[in-house]
Every structure is written in structure tokens, then in C-alpha cells.
A and B are shown apart, each in its own frame.
Chain A
Amino acid sequence: MPAPPIREVLLTEERIQKRVRELAGEISTAYAGRDLVLVTVLKGGLYFLADLTRALDIPVTIDFMAISSYRGGKGPSGVVRLIKDLDEEITGRHVLLVEDIIDTGLTASYLMRALRARDPADLAICTLLERTARRIAEGLPIRYRGFEIPDAFVVGYGLDHRQLYRNLPYIGVLADHALRAERAASTEAG
């Protein structure tokens, strides 16, 4: 298998796992005795949720959502919609939205509105990565954060580029040549 086009490893597997265990410890303490539902968004949050929940020492319920992606001029955009809704009822329960990354905050803002409308007892966010440089949606209730990262295109540990590299156990910065090649191809195709 060819090596992924990674310019540098931003967060090693060891560093990620250590931080995930720390977050799990904080969550286990804070939510002890609570009816906690951890919700993640497919597909990016998959690995973080899996590792986080296995490091918790309290009973929790997990659930998943999926939403449509913005496609610009490439397809029918309309407005964001749920492709997969929760299976669990969350009214009156404690809900933690588990995200791979909060960037502009637009996705999280939409999800928070959708979840809040169901009247949970408590609703907050646990994100592995946060990048504040491009934040548009301010005021998100980010209660747990793994790492603040710089403005670079990162992949791995759930994060993709054109659906690739999610399965890397670390988080790396995608090489410029990979992005340049894609932009050139897009321009020619367009």
C-alpha cells in the first residue's frame, strides 16, 4: 500500500490515546450516576467515540447521526438534513455530542439545534480537535477538548480527504502536493 501523502504527523497515536484516556476520566467523574448518551456524527467521529467510550468507567448509551454534506455547485445543496437520525430518545437525558473536530462550528451549531429541540436534561460537546481560526458559530458549549490545532488540512483518526485516510491511527497534515494535484484536476475537470 502506498504511503499516505502526509507532510507531518501532528498528533501521534500515543499522544491521541493518552489524551482520550484523560478525557474519559474527566467524563466518567462528571457524569457518574447520570443517564449519559454519547452521540457522534458519522463518519468522522467514529474512531474517537469508539476509543473514548471504551476508556469510560461508567455505563453509557451510544448513538449516531449522519447529515448531508454541502456540495456547492456540484449537486443539489438545499439545506442540511439528517440522513440518519438517533435511535434513542434523549428527552430528559444527559447528552454529549462527540465530535472529531470543531472548525467553523457550522455543523455543530446545526446539530446542537437539532438535539436541543428534543429537550435533553443537559447538552454539551466533547471534541477531539478544535480549530478556532475559522470559527463562525460562536458560543458552542464545548465542555471537553482534546487538542487545539493550527489551520492546516488534517487527516487521520476519522478525518478524511475525499473519504480517504480516516483509518490512520495518527493525525497528520496532508501534503501540499496532494491538495495542489486535486485542485489542478478539479480546475481541468471544471
Chain B
Amino acid sequence: MAQPPDVRFAHSSEAELARILDFYGIRWEYEPRSFPLEWDEGGRVVESFSPDFYLPDFDLYLELTTLKQSLVTKKNRKLRRMRELYPDVRVKIFYGRDFRNLLTKYDLIPAATR
């Protein structure tokens, strides 16, 4: 599936992963779903998690996270909560080291930070 022209990625690492998936013919959707994680007393959603990609061929959500430890810690907490609330949803985090090593494998400059 070619990358839809109207997709605006939040970060260059996401655009790179999309190109890699396109290269291997893996279908993807960008942030197609938001999973509510916390609600206030009125039942309004106060925290949610929107994984970066959904891969329908593997029924798998992917989240990219890179260098900032504060963001990694926050995402890890969200991921734990999401697994509690949605145990049947398969989601995987790509950490900064994972992604840098992936780019190194393809001989690309590991530029992903956020």
C-alpha cells in the first residue's frame, strides 16, 4: 500500500517507518484509533493512548518512542494501562534503541528523536 499523500506524520521517524512498511508491502494505518485510559467522575475521557500505526495484516498496533526518557516512562505507563483495559489488543512499542538499530541495519542515519 503506498503512503497516502495526506498523512501528516508527527515525527520523521514515523514517516521513515511508513516508508519501510511500504517497501515490504505491509499495509498500515496512521493513528487510526484512540484508546481511552482514564475517565473523570463525569465519565469524560481524560487520558487516552493513540498508537502511531495499526498493521491490519498482523492485527498489531505499533508505537514509536525515541530518546527522551520522560516520554518513554510516560508511554510505558500508558502501555501498561492499555494492556490492563484492552487485553485482547496487541500493541508493541519500538524504543529509540530498537529504531536506531533498525535504521543502522538499513544503513540510514538514525535521526529519530523526540
Chain A residues in the interface with B (C-beta under 8 A) = 69-74, 77-80, 103-104, 106-107, 109-110, 113, 133-139, 151-153, 161-162, 179, 182-183, 186-187, 190
Render B94-114 as a binary contact track against A, CB cut-off 8 A, 1 for contact.
Answer: 100110011111111110000
Q: How far is the CA of A139 from the CA of B59 in the complex (A)?
A: 11
Across the interface, do B24 and A78 meet the contact criterion of CB distance under 8 Å? no
Chain B residues in the interface with A (C-beta under 8 A): 16, 19-26, 55, 58, 60, 62, 90, 92, 94, 97-98, 101-110
Bound state CA distance, A136 and B24, in angstroms? Answer: 12
Closest residue on chain B to residue A182 by CB atoms: B104
A151 touches which of B19, B20, B90, B101 (Cβ 8 Å): B101
A97→B5 CA distance, assembly (Å): 36
Contacts of A183 in B (CB 8 A): 104, 109-110
Complex CA–CA separation, A162 to B107 (angstroms)? 7
- Residue of A whose beta carbon sits closest to that of B97: A151
Output the least CB separation between B53 and chain A (Å): 9
Chain B residues whose C-beta falls within 8 Å of the C-beta of A80 in the assembled complex:
23-25
21 contacts between A and B (CB under 8 A): A70-B23, A70-B24, A71-B106, A72-B19, A77-B22, A79-B22, A80-B23, A80-B25, A106-B24, A106-B26, A107-B24, A109-B26, A133-B98, A134-B94, A136-B92, A137-B58, A138-B90, A139-B58, A151-B97, A151-B101, A152-B101
Shortest C-beta distance, A98 to chain B (Å), equals: 19
Distance between A152 CB and nearest chain B CB, rounded to angstroms: 8
